[in-house]
Amino acid sequence: MAVKILSSILILFALYMGVKQGWAMVSGKPEMTEMFGKWNIGKTGLSIIGCFTIIGAILVLFPQTFLWGNFITATGILLIICFHLNETSASAADRLKGVAIELPFLLLSLVIIYLQHPFSKNIS
């Protein structure tokens, strides 16, 4: 029972963060356009990534699409981590700081997958 409650809380947190960050990308918030602009991703590309972020967050809610949602979310986070690591204009410390900010969200997706969806039949 405690696993189901923890899993539910983490899923709701992931949903909130995914929709929040995805909407910031879709709506072109200045901090998002600045960050992705460093990587030569324009407003259209940012909107597409934002849509996938929102879709991934919503898919996590349903047991049938739970894994796909987590995979989409983790893929988006890994993409951002790769962009941070590949950034040539930043110092190594700045690149690692960017990765360190994204890493907990990647781990969140992995923990949620490990705990499974609270309404799936596989949890005992």
Question: Computed from CA positions of residues 106, 108, 112, 115, in that sequence, does the dihedral angle turn out positive or negative?
Answer: positive
Q: Which of 22, 31, 96 is nearest to 56 (CA)?
A: 22
Give the residue-averaged pLDDT of 2-30.
Answer: 96
Instruction: For residues 109 and 102, give the distance between their C-alpha atoms in angstroms, rounded to a whole number.
Output: 11
CA distances from 41 to 24, 32, 49, 85, 88 (A): 15, 10, 10, 16, 15
- For residue 122, the model assigns a pLDDT of 63
Q: What is the mean pLDDT of the chain?
A: 93
- Quickly state the pLDDT bin for 39 (edges 50, 70, 90): very high
Whether 68 contacts 30, CB under 8 Å = no
Domain residue extents for the chain: 7-115
- For residue 105, the model assigns a pLDDT of 95
- For residue 124, the model assigns a pLDDT of 45
Give the residue-averaged pLDDT of 8-32.
Answer: 96
- For residue 29, the model assigns a pLDDT of 96
- For residue 89, the model assigns a pLDDT of 81
For residue range 67-95, what is the model confidence (pLDDT) as tens digits?
999 999 999 999 999 999 998 888 888 89
- For residue 46, the model assigns a pLDDT of 96
- pTM (two decimals): 0.90
